[in-house]
């Protein structure tokens, strides 16, 4: 019987990925579909895809599947055959990463969840199949230019901080669950306008568009395939790219370059930068933006406090874990910002 979980240490798996020269392709997909037994389906996928050395993170629920993975280039066609042999996944679009070094994932994780995206909605209270209209890149560019069009970023604040569609409303939220009611309130008096929503690959907008139609919004649209597919179509068709900066992604890459602009700043020195990292102090691990100079100065940590903690012997660090408050225990993702002293804020 095939094992249904990883047995190798995470550090070793990361080392193997970083030193491997194997060509891998990063892609994402989702499909809403009623799955009767998610646990059994999860095991079926794990047995099949682990044999192909597929890495990534997949969520399975009664409502469907949501996945971000990397596949060896040599196994891509075999993977597609196996995926498309599953009736409800036959022919679904695979969003291929735009800026990919093949180092996006280092192991395969397939988890059973209550929902494939945490939205906090009661799906029985509205028709989740009545969704907004999909826009390809050409249609998006045309509609975005119309005066009565409102563009809404359905992602989290730390995603939109490094990149967004020109002119978009960007809610200051940490979760999709928070964004839904906030956007509804913001647009309460705009229910007759054209509302275009977008997210990374499209999945959040599928549910959000149905919810807003239920709430009385008349003209709801969404970017088909999200930022990833929009960027691909723009490049393929030579279209004007209305996305500024970088697309945040939830894998080891942390982002992929879409527009050439750098619209964010290093959270430590304030210089232009859009590189997301996690603090090297595992007891903190906060997500923040750090430039190369600050990474060198603070040894990839978010503060002097974390740098000094990391310099302690491992045995001492283990004893102190849980007794010291770091930025990662005080702030949410991307909330910590320590700018230059000459701007009036002192590095912590």
* 223 & 128 share domain: yes
- Sequence-distant (6+) residues with CB within 8 A of 25 are 70, 71, 72, 73, 76, 96, 97, 100, 102
- Please give the pLDDT value at position 313: 94
In 142-209 the beta strands, taken as DSSP E runs, fall at 149-153, 163-165, 194-198
Domain boundary among 237, 252, 267: 237
CB neighbours of residue 207 within 10 Å: 23
Closest residue by Cα to residue 195 from 182, 209, 181: 209
Residue 229 phi, psi dihedral angles, 5° rounding: -70, -35
* 84 & 161 share domain: no
Q: What is the DSSP letter of 342?
A: G
- Sequence-distant (6+) residues with CB within 8 A of 260 are none
Q: What is the CATH number of the domain that holds 220?
A: 3.40.250.10
Closest residue by Cα to residue 251 from 19, 6, 24, 22: 24
**Residue 4 domain-assigned?**
no
- Please give the pLDDT value at position 123: 86
* 152 & 102 share domain: no
- Please give the pLDDT value at position 343: 43
- Please give the pLDDT value at position 98: 85
Q: Domains in the chain: how many in total? A: 3
- The strand pairing partners of 27, in sequence order, are 69, 96
Q: CA torsion sign, 96 to 98 to 102 to 105?
A: negative
- Active-site pick, 199, 234, 294, 306: 199
**What angle do helix axes 176-186 and 203-214 make, rounded to 10 degrees?**
40
- Please give the pLDDT value at position 99: 82
Q: CA torsion sign, 251 to 253 to 258 to 259?
A: positive
Cα 136 from Cα 220, distance rounded (Å): 14
- 33 within 8 A of 26, measured Cβ to Cβ: no
Query: What does each of the 348 residues of the chain score in pLDDT, given as a tens digit?
Result: 345 656 666 677 777 777 778 899 999 999 999 999 999 999 999 999 999 999 999 999 999 999 999 999 999 999 999 999 999 999 999 999 888 888 889 899 999 999 999 899 888 888 888 999 999 999 999 999 999 999 999 999 999 999 999 999 999 999 999 999 999 999 999 999 999 999 999 999 999 999 999 999 999 999 999 999 999 999 999 999 999 999 999 888 999 999 999 999 999 999 999 999 999 999 999 999 999 999 999 999 999 999 999 999 999 999 998 899 999 999 988 888 775 444 444 444
- Please give the pLDDT value at position 8: 62
Residue in the block written with tokens 């996305």: 243
- The strand pairing partners of 67, in sequence order, are 29, 58
Is 279 annotated in the active site? no
Q: What is the pTM of this model?
A: 0.86
- Please give the pLDDT value at position 232: 94
Q: What is the CATH number of the domain that holds 101?
A: 3.30.70.100
Domain boundary among 112, 142, 159: 112
- Please give the residue range of the domain that contains residue 284: 276-343
Tokens of 94: 């695979």
**Residue 330 domain-assigned?**
yes
């Amino acid at each position: 019987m095939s094992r249904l979980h990883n047995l190798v240490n995470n550090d070793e798996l990361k080392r193997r990925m970083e030193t491997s020269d194997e060509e891998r392709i990063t892609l994402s997909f989702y499909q809403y579909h009623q799955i009767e037994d998610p646990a059994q389906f999860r095991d079926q996928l794990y047995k099949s895809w682990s044999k192909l050395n597929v890495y990534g993170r997949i969520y399975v629920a009664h409502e469907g599947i949501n996945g971000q993975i990397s596949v060896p280039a040599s196994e891509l066609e075999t993977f597609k055959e196996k995926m498309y042999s599953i009736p409800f996944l036959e022919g679904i679009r695979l969003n291929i990463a735009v800026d990919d070094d093949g180092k996006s994932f280092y192991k395969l994780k397939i988890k059973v969840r209550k929902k494939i995206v945490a939205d906090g909605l009661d799906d029985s209270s509205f028709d989740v199949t009545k969704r907004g209209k999909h826009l390809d890149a050409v249609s998006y560019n045309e509609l975005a230019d119309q005066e009565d069009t409102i563009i809404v970023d359905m992602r989290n604040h730390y995603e939109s901080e490094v990149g967004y569609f020109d002119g978009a409303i960007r809610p200051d939220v940490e979760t999709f669950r928070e964004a839904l009611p906030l956007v509804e309130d913001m647009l309460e008096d705009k229910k007759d306008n054209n509302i275009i929503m977008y997210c990374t690959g499209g999945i959040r907008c599928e549910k959000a568009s149905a919810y807003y139609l239920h709430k009385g919004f008349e003209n709801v649209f969404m970017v088909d395939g999200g930022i990833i597919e929009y960027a691909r179509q723009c490049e393929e068709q030579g279209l004007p790219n209305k996305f500024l900066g970088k697309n945040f992604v939830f894998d080891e890459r942390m982002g992929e370059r879409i527009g050439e602009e750098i619209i964010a700043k290093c959270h430590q020195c304030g210089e232009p930068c859009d590189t997301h990292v996690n603090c090297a102090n595992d007891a903190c691990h906060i997500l923040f933006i750090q430039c190369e100079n600050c990474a060198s100065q603070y040894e990839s940590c978010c503060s002097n406090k974390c740098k000094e903690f990391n310099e302690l012997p491992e045995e001492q660090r283990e004893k102190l874990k849980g007794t010291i408050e770091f930025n990662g225990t005080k702030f949410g993702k991307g909330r910590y910002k320590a700018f230059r002293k000459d701007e009036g804020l002192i590095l912590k």
